[in-house]
Amino acid sequence: MKSGLVSTATAALVATVAGLGGTLPVVLAAAAAVGATPAQASSWVSGLAIAMALSGLWLSVRYRMPIITAWSTPGAALIASTSGVPGIGAAVGAFVLAAVLILLTASIRPLARLIEKIPASIAAAMLAGILLRLVIAMVEHVPSAPLLVLPMVALFLVARILAPTLASLIVLVAGALIAVGLGLVKPIPALGLSQPELVMPAWDVATLIGLGVPLYLVTMASQNLPGFAVLRASGYEPPTQAVLAATGAASLGSAFLGAHTTNLAAISAALCTGPEAHPDPAERWKAGVFYAVWWSLIALFGASLVGVFGALPPALLATVAGTALLGSMASAMGSALSADQDRFAAAGTLAVTASGVTLMGVGSAFWGLVFGVVVLGIDRYVRR
């Protein structure tokens, strides 16, 4: 393999490993929150991997640019923090709705413009509220497992400076070793190939509104828009409608395997769009091909991954998720509260979303968004 291809394959591998190790615990927390069985959780992970491999491969080859896709980490955090979902079937119904809305956004320009008009401060505040609950969950494990959690947090604080891209993976590996030393790891099940499981959607109106709509909004605002920005910053002009159509179709197909949405990557994409991937920008599209290969392997062994992570103590998974999301939460809070005229509405959005309250069967993320938009609308009307 030529040296250029070696660097391209390596960049794609680093992007894959960093994304998997840092945020898989968030996906597993989401699966647990909606009552998925271990087999359904395995299908969820494999479905995501298949969707990412196919959509990224198609887009990269078709448009000759490194269009890297990923699962929606903020979306997984939203699912993990949502209470009252009456089972995996209702969650899948919400996943289908989110995918359909992404496809509609790709085909209906006014809808895309409407999403862009959602105040950035309110969207960021909703995301911050979602992530805050998972970061707090990490701290809540300190009293019960201080010898596990505190060293992991300390290591993260160092690793995020020395190797920020791999910090979460470093914490995961070190945490697993500490957990083994403390005797906290359960027996690991026999390794084996994944067996995707069909999950039919259940159409629960409250879940569609309280989970499906926020999942679509957080995926668009917190993943797709930054993903486009990363590509443009690297000198590429991504085909917006084609990207949304491909990721929406991939999300719709994988939803029936119990998986939530697929979207453009941001951090993982940055690893594949720069000179580290290939000195020639015209050749970096091959990173998308290697990225698809790595994720195809993960799709084959999703059951084994879920089994390994299931043997780890909850405190470890919560700490990995919390440290991985801490930077994103800080960034979202900064964006939400940066504008003086929007600060009150954004703070209210954050508080309502983080509360986890369920009203009329609808989750807090939706009510946080409604609160922020209404208050901001009133404030702007009064200032006229």
For every residue of 242-293, DSSP letters joined together read HHHHHHHHHHHHHHTTT---EEE-SHHHHHHHSTTT-SSGGGTTHHHHHHHH
Q: pLDDT of 116-162, one tens digit each?
A: 677 778 878 887 887 788 788 889 999 999 999 999 999 999 988 98
Q: How far is CA 7 from CA 1, 47, 267, 272, 274, in A?
A: 10, 28, 18, 10, 11
φ/ψ of residue 313, rounded to 5: -65, 145
pTM for the structure as a whole? 0.79
Q: pLDDT of 257-271, one tens digit each?
A: 999 999 988 767 777
- Name the pLDDT band for 100 (thresholds 50, 70, 90): very high
Residue with tokens 């069967």: 361
DSSP state at residue 1: -
Task: Identify the pLDDT of residue 116.
Answer: 65
**DSSP per position, 286-324:** HHHHHHHHHHHHHHHTHHHHHHHHHTS-HHHHHHHHHHH
The rounded distance, in Å, linking the Cα atoms of 217 and 166 is 28
